Structure 1
């Protein structure tokens, strides 16, 4: 029966923000939409990034026809190096998206082995039984698309990340007409971005930040430091236009900001007047009132250019009393501490700091649709089935309720990572699960996958510390040469307890035979068990105990 049904299988992004990855399957053909990463929560100690578990795709690798990317944000392309190390399949994306992907794959020495295929809004292409048409949408990044996918049972539309902006700074407006056309023809299922389902009304256009920023430029008497997400090309463009208008030269500081602005210039998204940009080394050659520094690090990343400048540790960017720093971005949940720490440092430097505090005027707008735009899309497409994507469970649930309340959807279904949703022309239902979850990556190496047990051990060490009993044993006689030594880290104990613990170790050695002492595996385990029992009984703590034996 499943042979005549279309399967939609989310592998990431439904139940969390980030890590977006979704498989669409018809019989023996699978296409994958997006391959994102997620930045770790604080409880994932020492983990750098989190990517989706693609066991299902690896098990079916001969059926995977390709990965289609909706746009170039990290939560949609960041997992590619890890996914492509397991699956060698073509990657489809728009020109700007692939420019980001090339840099990422080049960094991982994978560019030469990966087939990158450029797609464009309105240009249909086929993958197995699927015919895909990219449709122009607007977001906080340029060159973003939704995907209309014709399948043997009907058309499904995946919006990607979107908001409805009919006058974006690059003049490439949201293609409402194309969505309306698909609505007239009939849409089987709509998978729609849920990020801002909590927000009533409409999300303002990118242009709406310009009046407030213009006012900031007018009032700033000294250097102006402007920071936003390096991928926010629209925002960068507005800042550069204002800098030119107000007679300021611009220096670009920070690796990600330099890379993004260079790509945007190469592809024609930034058209800069001659002489506007200067090298960061020339900042001091111009009067402070004639300088703007475009700087990366809006989320307070520890080694970012802005974080270093905030503590006066940057080669070129020096923030002096009276300078103005604009943070034109939202605070991503989880980053609050690091962002406010940077803001504190900026205030210590006597700088004027302007950030999104919800007060006077807009300096940042979201790239995601609010409720009225979500309703408009549902009304335009009139899908038979509605599936919310991208967000925590509460967002998905609320979005499904919103869709159902409009009255044009037959059924709204909330699915999560690993659920298998089967559709035909008449019905949609959940049918079982596949393996899904998170893979933790340490230090950016494809080999360094962090197992659950490692996270557990790190948590254990952070809570209870560890104790190293160090013993010196004569290899020939089996005799203990000197008193056992105890080294502790992250475990505080008064000297009396440590002395007693040392006696416990000595006692264990005394009560062990010469044969046991000669077998280091046995004696280590005996010491570990006895010491653990003693410490737990006397302190109710369970430090990690690792006996070390020095043989002489």
Structure 2
């Protein structure tokens, strides 16, 4: 791995293509890459990462596009490979800074994005729908779009041709040979482009550790049919709000079993409406019902398709599990199907939801006990196949955690790419492609940009540290009123705590110690509140550590009369 310490890259030489990943290399999410040549920038994807338990109060995490904030006028286009949140979710936040960046993507991808830009009230957006096989020129970049199969319709790989060389970026993909929509990954195009010569192959790494080939989507149908055949009450299926193929399968099985379907979750309702309007989702007449009409149908006649398969705290399924949903309440013997993979980092949240559902008497069916989900990403056998037909001069694994990137790099080497031409880097690395050779030349800051209720980028790592301390260790406030002229304690110390000692009488012993330490400090000439607050913090910190083995946030307040 290349070192991650910041290292200013050299000035970009003429005829050199620079690639900077700003997200998605080291994490599963917030995918984004910048390509630069001749003073112009092309962006590929702009997605979000969803927060984990160690990001308290954070709603979304954006790519580090602060790096290009002062160069947005140089951006000639943003290519969107597909419509998943981890590839398009951050686009509205980028467009807030420059709304007229030309957007290139498939019809479905741009339609899903259009819903987002409307919600964010962004005007002047410039979408340019493209199709697989199409080729166009955007500034100094010659782009060709290639059909790839993924867990959402209309996904695209992109071939980027420049004077410095040719890059083939797969986006997220797999090689399902019997896809539900009949749209396979165009390996003939991969082979043709490979014959022309690929200088850098940027390849999806998410399943690089998984041997063999990814299971076809249609193989989950028997498991879904068994769920419907053995369920005598209501069925709730939770999946990603953009997984059109999975929703189509559930709709088909529901119709075959005479059940009505209701969407639950704002993003599910929105996305499936878009997919149906564009013809990507086939919904038979008289199949859908409104959520408000649930009680008008017998439980055995209903299927609920919901968001929340990753245990997101505010999702419909999490609220159902916590008995907090305003309409849907779980009944004993209901069946809940988690029809999605488990994204790394979400394990605790998902198992919390599963336990909550089980506690309410539901039968929970998930990938661990039934084949109700298959991955949307190419496994090792498929990746090797692609390396062999493309035969790139250099390889750069993308989209995955560090272990995924390394495993993908090993596959590239096994297929014949020289080790020194296999570029394994994380976000912020600066990679230059020139004269058929890709190499790391620097490192820029691509730190997380946090979004919470207060705005974008208003949350710092220091604030997150404070939030973690508050959540895990609690806090103590100590308020004391002193008279600096006499060196006496006028009032207090008053101690209040949350998170470990709710009874204020527990602090009776330390109050006198703090008062004595403050009196001694004032007697020694300490006459400013900051230093007196430090005295208070030291006394309280030592006592709490010795008594409770905790390190809470301590807020000392010294008031001078």
TM-score (norm 1): 0.90
1:397 aligns with 2:401: no
2:8: which partner in 1?
none
Query: CA separation in 2, counterparts of 1:538 and 1:281?
Result: 54
Structure 1 partner of 2:50: 39
Q: Distance in 2 between matches of 1:349 and 1:468?
A: 40
Paired with 1:181 and 1:494, the residues of 2 have a C-alpha distance of 75
1:387 aligned counterpart, secondary structure: strand
Contact 2:529 2:559 in 1 (8 A): no
**Alpha-carbon distance between aligned partners in 2 of 1:303 and 1:229, rounded to the nearest angstrom:** 14
Displacement, 1:364?
A: 0.6
Distance in 1 (CA, whole Å) between partners of 2:127 and 2:184 is 26
Match of 2:244 among 233, 245, 267: 233
RMSD value over aligned CA atoms? Answer: 2.9
Which runs of structure 2 are paired with 1:329-478 in the superposition (5 Å)? 329-357=340-368, 359-360=369-370, 362-407=371-416, 411-443=421-453, 445-462=454-471, 464-472=473-481
Alignment of 1:102-141 (within 5 A): 102-109=114-121, 111-141=122-152
CA gap 1:503/1:180 in 2 versus in 1, 3 angstroms:
closer
Aligned to 1:54: 65
| Gap regions ≥5 residues in structure 2 | 1-11
1:486-529 superposed Cα distances (whole Å, 9 cap, x missing partner) = 22233549957643434433552476389977x65565455446
Aligned position for 2:522: 512
Of 249, 263, 268, the residue aligned with 2:279 is 268
* Between 387-396 and 525-534, the greater mean CA deviation after superposition: 525-534
Shift of residue 290, structure 1, vs aligned partner: 2.4
Q: Secondary structure at the match of 1:369?
A: coil
Distance 2:367 2:174 in 1: 20
The answer for the alignment partner of 2:112 in structure 1 is: 100
| Structure 1 Cα separation of the partners of residues 162 and 538 of structure 2 | 62
Deviation string, structure 1 residues 23-63 (Cα, Å, up to 9, x no partner)? 11113011111112212232333333222222321243332
120-129 or 455-464, which deviates more? 455-464
The alpha-carbon deviation at position 188 of structure 1 amounts to 1.5
1:235 is displaced (CA, Å) by: 0.6
| SS of alignment partner, residue 329 of structure 2 | coil
Instruction: Number of aligned residue pairs: give it.
Output: 547
**Contact in 2 for aligned 1:191/1:389 (Cα 8 Å):** yes
Aligned to 1:22: 33
Other structure's SS at 1:102 match: helix
Q: Against the structure 1 CA distance between its residues 425 and 503, is the aligned structure 2 distance closer, same or farther, given a 3 Å change threshold?
A: closer
Q: Displacement of 1:389 after TM fit?
A: 0.7
- The corresponding residue for 1:250 is 261
2:229 aligned with 1:218 = yes
Q: How far apart are the structure 2 equivalents of 1:435 and 1:462?
A: 29
| 1:410-461 deviation line (CA, Å, top 9, x unaligned) | 8322122222211123322221222222222223x53452112212223344
1:198 aligns with 2:209: yes
Counterpart for residue 511 of structure 2: 501
Report if aligned partners of 2:136, 2:143 keep a CA contact under 8 Å in 1. Answer: yes
CA change 1:31–1:340 in 2 (3 A) is same
Deviation at 1:17, TM superposition (A): 1.5
3-state SS of paired residue (2:123): helix
Deviations 1:510-552 (A, max 9, x none): 76389977x6556545544665577668877654332335688
Indicate if the aligned counterparts of 2:397 and 2:408 stay in contact, CA closer than 8 A: yes
Report the Cα offset of residue 103 of structure 1: 2.3
Q: Which residue of the partner structure matches residue 545 of structure 1?
A: 554
**Other-structure match for 2:298:** 287
Aligned to 1:318: 329
Aligned 8 A contact 1:226 1:294 in 2? yes
Aligned to 1:81: 92
1:149 to 1:447, Cα distance in 2 relative to 1, 3 A: closer
Name stretches of at least 5 consecutive residues in structure 1 with no aligned partner.
none
1:408 Cα deviation after fit: 6.0
Distance 1:532 1:133, change over 3 A: same
Please give the alpha-carbon distance, in whole angstroms, between the structure 2 residues aligned to 1:239 and 1:491. Answer: 47
Equivalent pair of 1:478/1:514 in contact (CA under 8 Å): no
Contact 2:484 2:522 in 1 (8 A): no
C-alpha spacing 1:506/1:320, structure 2 compared with 1 (3 Å) = same
2:102 matches 1:90: yes
CA shift at 1:348, angstroms? 3.1
Structure 1 residue 377, shift from structure 2 partner: 1.3
Does the CA-based 8 Å contact 1:486-1:502 persist in structure 2? Answer: no
Preserved CA contact (<8 Å) 1:251 1:293: yes
Name the SS for the 1:160 alignment partner: coil
Contact 1:36 1:76 in 2 (8 A): yes
Rate the CA distance shift 1:208–1:460 in 2: closer, same or farther, 3 A.
same
Shift of 1:146: 0.4
Q: Is the 8 A contact 2:311 2:353 kept in 1?
A: yes
> Per-residue displacement from partner, 1:277-315 (whole Å, max 9, x unpaired)?
112232233333322222222222233222333344434
Deviations 1:352-394 (A, max 9, x none): 221111x45x211000001111112112212111111111222
What corresponds to 1:167 in structure 2? Answer: 178
Deviation at 1:157, TM superposition (A): 0.5
Alpha-carbon contact 2:393-2:437 (below 8 Å) kept? no
Shift of residue 320, structure 1, vs aligned partner: 2.5
